[in-house]
Amino acid sequence: MDSTATDEIAHDFRPYFIVFKDGRVQRLLLTDLVSPSLNPDGVSSKDLQILPELGVSARLYLPKLDAGDAGRKLPILVYYHGGGFCMASAFCGLYHCYLTSLVAEVNVIAVSVDYRRAPEHPLPTGYDDSWAALQWVAAHTAGGPEAWLSEHGDFDRITIAGDSAGGNIAHNVAMRAGREELGHGVKLRGAILVHPLFNGAEAIGDEGKYPERKAVGDRIWMFSSPTTVGLDDPLINPMAEGAPSLSGLGCARLMVCLAGKDMLRDRGRVYYERLRLSGWKGTVEILESDGEDHVFHLFNPTCENAGIMMQRFVSFLN
* 297 is annotated as an active-site residue: no
**Per-residue 3-state assignment (H helix, E strand, C coil) for the chain:** CCCCHHHCEEEEECCCEEEECCCCEEECCCCCECCCCECCCCCEEEEEEEECCCCEEEEEEECCCCHHHCCCCEEEEEEECCCCCCCCCCCEHHHHHHHHHHHHHHCCEEEEEECCCCCCCCCCHHHHHHHHHHHHHHHHHHCCCCHHHHHHEEEEEEEEEEECHHHHHHHHHHHHHHHCCCCCCCCCCEEEEECCCCCCCCCCHHHHHCHHHHHHHHHHHHHHCCCCCCCCCCCCCCCCCCCCCHHHCCCCEEEEEEECCCCCHHHHHHHHHHHHCCCCCCEEEEEEECCCCCCHHHHCCCCHHHHHHHHHHHHHHC
Active-site annotation holder among 89, 101, 112, 164: 164
Let me know: does 162 contact 127? Beta carbons within 8 Å.
Answer: no
- 69: annotated active-site residue: no
**Catalytic pick among 130, 262, 289, 297:** 262
Reply yes or no on whether 294 is catalytic. yes
Which residues are the active-site residues? 164, 262, 294
